[in-house]
Amino acid sequence: MTALADPLAPAPAAPAAARPVNRARRRAQILHHIVLIFGVLLMCGPMVVTFMSSTWDPVVIHSEGLQLGYGGKFLETYETVLLKGGGFTGEITGTLMLWNSVLLGLGFAIGKIVISMLAAYAIVYFRFPFASLAFWVIFATLLLPLEVRILPSYEVVQRLGMLNSWSGLILPLIASATATFFFRQFFRSIPDELLEAARIDGAGPFRFFVDILAPLSKTMMAAIFIIMFVVGWNQYLWPALMTTDESMFTIVRGIRQILQVWIGANIPDYNQALALAILAMAPPALVVLVFQRMFIKGLVETEK
Amino acid sequence: MTVTLDAAANAAANAAVNAPASAPANAPVIAAAAAPAASAEPTLVIDGAVKRYPNGAVAVRGVTIEVGQGELVVFVGPSGCGKSTLLRMVAGLEDITEGEIRIAGRRVNEVEPAERDIAMVFQNYALYPHMTVRQNLAYGLKNRGTDKAEIARKVAEAAAMLQIEDFLDRKPSQLSGGQRQRVAMGRCIVRDPSLFLFDEPLSNLDARLRTQMRLEIRKLQRRLKVSAIYVTHDQVEAMTLADRIVVLNGGQVEQVGAPSEVYARPASTFVAAFIGAPAMNLIPAELAGGALRIGAEAVPFAAPPAGMAPGFVTLGLRPEKARVVPQAERAGGLPFTLDAVEELGASRLLHGRAAGADVVTAADAALPIPQGPLALHADPADLHFFDAVTGTRL
Ligand SMILES: Nc1ncnc2c1ncn2[C@@H]1O[C@H](COP(=O)(O)OP(=O)(O)O)[C@@H](O)[C@H]1O
Ligand SMILES: [Mg+2]
């Protein structure tokens, strides 16, 4: 807050005049902080409750409800969740599911970036018949989300014999109208002279893409990577349909699965389910935290 | 300074350029005449070039120009007259609808920009923002497969020439406008092209820097003895830089000539109004009965030139050639009413009316502003006559 307020501070005026201004500003700051703290509580409260509860014995959770204090069983619970085989086959661990989610998230995000950059490159920089029609057709697919076309998609993947494979899980999802649109807008904002200078410098279409367009798109790629990684990570319906092999389960699916299977005992392992939920939430949150600066840069700043 | 022109360049030019490294640098570079050798093959020939854009707009309507060895030709004209289009056709960035362009005797209509042996400075510099200055300079050479040591040597040489050595590891965003301008020129120099192309390279700079860079471009071009085309809408830039000026209007050439020639004998009212500031006074007049008339009044200080047919003409008179004097001091002038005075420092502009026409005159600011009833005088030799309809010089 102070960092924000300081550059705006008026040049040192007469001290008498400055004082009421300072007081007004202080009051505004306090108000701002109250609003911000409220927002933080709203966002973090459920996470904290989930985490705290996951460190308690399931019996306590069952009888006394969710906990706000630390229960002392952090290590046992998380060790069990991460390393103990579970599921129908008894072979799937939390670590494996996390790894699967990372694979899906990465494949999903990287695939989308590659495909949509190439598509946008073709649309913006190459003159071919019906280029803008092609773009709008791609754009129109936004009207057909996965849920709408899930049956035909399943059919196609199944016919190709790609069920229970990573390629079957990832490839059908990586065409992205949204990312193509973002890259198209970005490429269009790059001055034509840059392409012309590169042409004079002897860069062909491939060199221009690799040496100039791709490095310039770095922040844009980071922004899209974050969004798409989180989207990929959170996929539920599609992996549930495409993979029946438990060794390919993602963590988002695993939460439900584990709760369901382990319900055999008298008291469900609430603590483990909650721990899984925390594990499922942490990596996307980390990605956002780490890439946050680039993300914002990608959206607001242009290095041209 | 060992700038080697391409094989196509003639031997004489090569001999001059390859002189001992220090000599050209010490020589009085501005004084060294460009003097395009008449016998040398022109670096560039534009032969009947026409550009029709896909939307039907015709930006260039049959232009024929030659640029000699080591010559700096300025394309000047108002915005939208097709200067950039013509330059970009030379660079290979626009297709040529009709006509032919030859660089060093080779037809280049179908040749890729990189293969044309040209280099270009863009208005917004078009530096690669993610590369350091060094990488910017080296990029073209790298793409040509020049070896590393050679690239390093050329970059160092160009950087020294442009005094940008200290910025070689900065990104363009960390440079001032003038420094970016130098980098853009450096990118051209390292390529040793036979033709430099400049598209309004100074228009993003402030007035002072513009004057300074203008001079530097001039010196540099002289020093490298590379032919160059310089596009601008600023007639001052054109006058100060050019060996020859090409005045363009509506996609056509109005006049080609040395700056002094274009100034002294404008070929049309368009050129007359465009070259020189303040612009030449253009006054509708009539040649009748052996006298020159403006409206109803005979112009006492000018008789129609011998052999000129009677009829309507446009009379041209440069403000700096017109004098406003109190009627009491000198007889025979055209009555002049002073409306406004503009001070320019060294000189002042007197705006007024004479015989119903608006007239601007420039006078030395050291002289007092004339008072009382005034009259306009001019030397008959300073009058220009243009066809009233076509605007061409008579
Ligand atoms: N890509 C284009 N498509 C259609 N018309 C164009 C295009 N580029 C320029 N023009 C037109 O061609 C004319 C000359 O443009 P230009 O060469 O840029 O002028 P200048 O550089 O002299 O200001 C203008 O009338 C302009 O509108
Ligand atoms: Mg232009």
Outline where chain A has alpha helix (H).
2-5, 15-54, 58-64, 74-83, 94-125, 131-140, 150-159, 166-170, 177-189, 192-200, 205-207, 214-216, 218-233, 237-242, 251-261, 270-300
**Domain identity same for A164 and A116:** yes
C-alpha angle with apex B83: B315 to B94, nearest 5 degrees?
155
- Alpha carbon distance A104, A98 (integer Å): 10
Name the residue of chain A whose CA is nearest to B172's CA. Answer: A304
Q: Are A287 and A226 in contact (CB under 8 A)?
A: yes
Q: Is the pLDDT of residue B255 over 50?
A: yes
Q: Is the pLDDT of residue A266 over 80?
A: no
Instruction: State how far the Cα of B242 lies from the Cα of B230, in Å rounded to an integer.
Output: 8
pLDDT > 50? residue A8: no
In a domain, A122, yes or no: yes
Beta strands in B260-379 (DSSP E): 281-288, 291-294, 297-298, 311-317, 322-326, 334-343, 347-354, 357-364, 374-378
Q: How confident is the model at residue A57 (pLDDT cuts 50, 70, 90)?
A: confident
**A252 plus A183 within the same structural domain:** yes
Q: What is the share, in percent, of chain B residues with pLDDT greater than 70?
A: 90
List, in order, residues 6 or more apart from B325 with CB less than 8 Å away.
B333, B370, B374, B375, B377
**In whole angstroms, what separates CA A98 from the centre of its chain?**
14
What distance in Å separates the CA atoms of residue A187 and residue A178, rounded to the nearest whole number? 14
In a domain, A11, yes or no: no
Q: Is residue A242 part of a domain?
A: yes
The domain tally of chain A equals 2
Lowest-pLDDT choice from A73-87, A274-288, B36-50: B36-50
For residue B311, give the 3-state DSSP assignment.
strand
Name the band, by pLDDT with cuts 50, 70 and 90, for residue B40. low
Say which of B113, B124, B144 has its CB closest to residue A191.
Answer: B124
- Give the residue, out of B85, B95, B234, B235, with the most ligand 1 atoms within 8 A of its beta carbon, to mutate for a pocket test: B85
Average pLDDT value for residue range A1-24: 54
My answer on whether A229 and A285 are in the same domain is yes
Residue B277: predicted pLDDT:
83
Q: Are residues A53 and A142 in the same domain?
A: no
Chain B: which residues have CB within 8 Å of chain A?
88, 91-93, 112-114, 118-120, 122-124, 126-130, 139-140, 143-144, 173, 187
Determine the average pLDDT of the residues in B190-202. Answer: 93
Looking at all shown ligands, the one closest to residue B247's CA atom is: 1
Residue B43 has pLDDT above 60, yes or no: yes
Is B83 near ligand 1, meaning CB less than 6 Å away? yes
Contact A279, A233 (CB under 8 A): no
pLDDT of residue A66: 86
Last residue of a domain, one of A43, A58, A73: A73
Q: How confident is the model at residue B137 (pLDDT cuts 50, 70, 90)?
A: very high
Report residues near ion ligand 2: CB below 5 Å.
Answer: B 84
| Residue B17 scores a pLDDT above 50 | no
**pLDDT greater at residue B269 or residue B8:** B269
User: Which residue's entry shows tokens 């550059």?
Assistant: A7
Task: Determine the residue among A186, A193, A201 to mutate to test chain B binding: the one whose Cβ has the most chain B Cβ atoms within 10 Å.
Answer: A201
A148 lies in the same domain as A252: yes
Spatial distance between the Cα atoms of B113 and A217, rounded to a whole number of angstroms: 25
d(CA B264, CA B259): 8
pTM, 2 dp? 0.80
- Range with top average pLDDT, A55-59, A92-96, B267-271: B267-271
Based on the domain organization, do A273 and A132 belong to the same domain? yes
Give the DSSP H/E element, type plus range, for residue B199. strand B195-199
Quote the CA–CA distance of B246 and B263 in Å, as a whole number: 12
Residue A17 lies in a domain: no
Q: Is the pLDDT of residue B4 over 70?
A: no
Helices A218-233 + A94-125 axis angle, to 10: 140
CA gap B230, B196 in Å, rounded? 8
Query: Which residue of B112, B131, B139, B198 is the best one to mutate when testing the A interface, meaning the one whose CB has the most A CBs within 10 A?
Result: B139
Smallest CA–CA separation between A231 and chain B, in Å?
30
Which domains are seen in chain B, by residue range?
7-271 (3.40.50.300), 278-387 (2.40.50.140)
Give this complex's ipTM. 0.80
B98 by DSSP, 3-state: which? strand
Apex CA B109: angle with CA B107 and CA B114, to 5°?
95
Tell if the CB–CB gap between B140 and A211 is shorter than 8 Å: no
CA atoms of A150 and B103, how far apart (whole Å): 60
Distance (Å, whole) CA B58 – CA B72: 26
pLDDT value of position A16: 53
Tell me: do A50 and A105 sit in the same domain: no
- Residue A288: its pLDDT value, please? 85
Q: Which of B318, B359, B323 is nearest to B340 (CA)?
A: B359
DSSP classification of residue A209: I
**Category of A85 on φ-ψ map: left (φ > 0), alpha (ψ -120 to 50) or beta:** beta
User: Which of B196 and A141 is assigned the larger pLDDT?
Assistant: B196
pLDDT in tens, A114-159: 999 999 999 999 988 888 888 888 888 888 888 888 899 899 999 9
pLDDT, mean of residues A34-43: 94
Do the strands B244-249 and B72-76 form a parallel or antiparallel pair, or are they unpaired?
Answer: parallel
Mean of all residue pLDDT scores within chain B: 86
How far does residue A196's CA lie from ligand 1's centre (Å)? 16
| Shortest alpha-carbon distance between residue B130 and chain A (Å) | 6
Q: In the prediction, which pLDDT does B267 show?
A: 94
Considering the domain architecture, whether residues A129 and A36 belong to the same structural domain is answered as no
Q: Which residues partner with B316 through β-bridges?
A: B282, B384
Q: Are B56 and B226 in contact (CB under 8 A)?
A: no
Per-residue pLDDT for B26 more than 60?
no
Residue A164 and residue A263 share a domain: yes
What pLDDT sits at residue A260? 56
Q: Which of A73, A104, A133 is the last residue of a domain?
A: A73
Q: Do A65 and A128 reside in the same domain of the chain?
A: no
Q: Which of A233-247, B4-18, B199-213, B293-307 has the lowest mean pLDDT?
A: B4-18
- Give the span between the Cα atoms of B341 and B350, in whole angstroms: 5
Lowest-pLDDT choice from A15-29, B33-47, B213-227: B33-47
Instruction: Tell me the chain A residues in contact with residue B170 when contact means C-beta distances shorter than 8 Å.
Output: none
Nearest CA in chain B to A194: B126
A203/chain B closest Cα distance in angstroms:
6
The CATH number for A255's domain is 1.10.3720.10
Domain of residue A61 covers 22-73
Alpha carbon of B67 to those of B75, B110, B133, B189: distances in Å? 11, 20, 31, 19
Query: Residue type at A240?
Result: A
Under 8 Å between Cβ of B324 and B375: yes
- Least confident range of A56-65, A82-91, B48-57: A82-91
Interface test with B, best of A192, A196, A200 (most B CBs within 10 A): A200
Whether B303 has a pLDDT exceeding 90, the answer reads no
Q: In this complex, which of B93, B143, B187 lies closest to A202 when CB atoms are compared?
A: B143
In terms of residues, how long is chain A?
304
C-alpha distances (whole Å) from A242 to each of A105, A167, A171 are: 15, 10, 12
In this structure, chain B runs to a length of: 394
Last residue within a domain, chosen from A34, A53, A73: A73
H or E element in which residue B143 lies: helix B133-144
Lowest model confidence (mean pLDDT) among A114-118, B246-250, B371-375 = B371-375
Short-list B335, B338, B320, CA closest to B376? B335
Torsions phi, psi for B323 (to 5 deg): -125, 140
pLDDT recorded at residue A104: 93
The answer to whether residue A30 is domain-embedded is yes
Q: Are residues A50 and A196 in the same domain?
A: no
Output the DSSP codes for A24-41. HHHHHHHHHHHHHHHHHH
Q: What percent of chain A has pLDDT over 90?
A: 35
Ligand 1 centroid–CA B77 distance in Å is 13
Q: With an 8 Å Cβ cutoff, are A216 and B126 in contact?
A: no
Same domain, A97 and A193: yes
Task: Among B91, B129, B130, select the one facing A200 at the smallest CB separation.
Answer: B91
Q: Is residue A69 part of a domain?
A: yes
- For B198-213, how does the pLDDT look when each residue is reduced to its tens digit (9 = 90+)? 999 998 888 889 999 9
Q: How far is it, in rounded angstroms, from Cα B54 to Cα B50?
A: 13
- Identity of the residue in A196, A207, A215 whose CB atom sits nearest the CB atom of B126: A196
Which tops the pLDDT comparison, A267 or B355?
A: B355
Does the pLDDT at position B5 exceed 80? Answer: no
Determine if ligand 1 sits within 6 Å of the CB of residue B53: yes
Enter the tokens of residue B296: 């109803």
pLDDT attached to residue A15 = 53
pLDDT digits (tens, 9 = 90+) for A97-117: 899 999 999 999 999 999 999
pLDDT, mean of residues A186-192: 92
| Higher pLDDT, residue A7 or B180 | B180
pLDDT of residue A77: 87
A303 close to A216: Cβ distance less than 8 angstroms: yes
3-state secondary structure of B324: strand
